[in-house]
Amino acid sequence: MDMENSSSKYELEFGNKMEQTGMIFRQAEEKDLDGIMEIISQAQEDLKKQNIDQWQGGYPNREVVLEDIKNQENYVLEESGKIIGTGMLSFQGDPSYEGIYEGKWKSQEPYGVIHRIAVRREKKRSGTATKMLQNMIEICRERKILSVRIDTHQDNIGMKNWLKKNGFEYCGVIDLKEKKAVRNAYERRL
């Protein structure tokens, strides 16, 4: 399926439904970079305050997010023209997910992977992240992808609870090859 045409179709079908609530879910564009980075910066500060060693040390940075945008893998949720959420959805697999220990993946079929999902501080606990997830899952279904994977830091209790609430199951531990760190891995079958 052509990603560009799929995304346009998605915006027409699902974006219009969300417009009724003043929200639009869409692929990010380069002009969105500052708004996305503001959200990521807030998330980095919040994780640091909780002593969670995730998204620290300058990651994710502008270059990473810009690459996501160029690859048409970054999405944003807008409310009244303001970006309130961001996340990356890819269908290219993740090298870090090739090895899993202390468990196993629920499926071995193609999967979508979500990374760098975050919402504005004032939108936390408002269902905004869940709205983003629901839209990403719909994109997966359109592409006939029946599995979604995601990972988080073992100390990120808020994220782990959110994943469980949204139907993800703990699968085991993965090594983040580029960061020399480990993460708890989750999967949701669609």
- Whole-number pLDDT of residue 65: 98
Find residue 113's DSSP bridge partners. Answer: 90, 149
Q: Which long-range contacts (CB under 8 A, 24 or more apart) does 176-182 make?
A: 176/96, 176/151, 177/95, 177/96, 178/96, 179/59, 181/53, 182/154
Rounded-to-integer distance, Cα 96 and Cα 61, Å: 19
- Whole-number pLDDT of residue 8: 43
- Which is more confident, 10 or 28? 28
- Whole-number pLDDT of residue 6: 45
- Whole-number pLDDT of residue 9: 43
pTM of the model: 0.88
- Residue 111: how many other CB atoms lie within 10 Å: 23
- Whole-number pLDDT of residue 137: 97
- Condensed to tens digits (0 to 9), the pLDDT of residues 139-175 reads 999 999 999 999 999 999 999 999 999 999 999 999 9
- Whole-number pLDDT of residue 20: 53
- Whole-number pLDDT of residue 170: 98
- Whole-number pLDDT of residue 177: 74
- Whole-number pLDDT of residue 18: 57
- Whole-number pLDDT of residue 16: 45
Residue 180: which pLDDT band, with cuts at 50, 70 and 90? confident
Find residue 25's DSSP bridge partners. Answer: 77
- Condensed to tens digits (0 to 9), the pLDDT of residues 106-126 reads 999 999 999 999 999 999 999
- Whole-number pLDDT of residue 22: 81
- Condensed to tens digits (0 to 9), the pLDDT of residues 13-62 reads 455 455 556 899 999 999 999 999 999 999 999 999 999 999 998 899 99
pLDDT of 105 higher than 50: yes
CATH assignment of 3-189?
3.40.630.30
Rounded-to-integer distance, Cα 23 and Cα 127, Å: 12
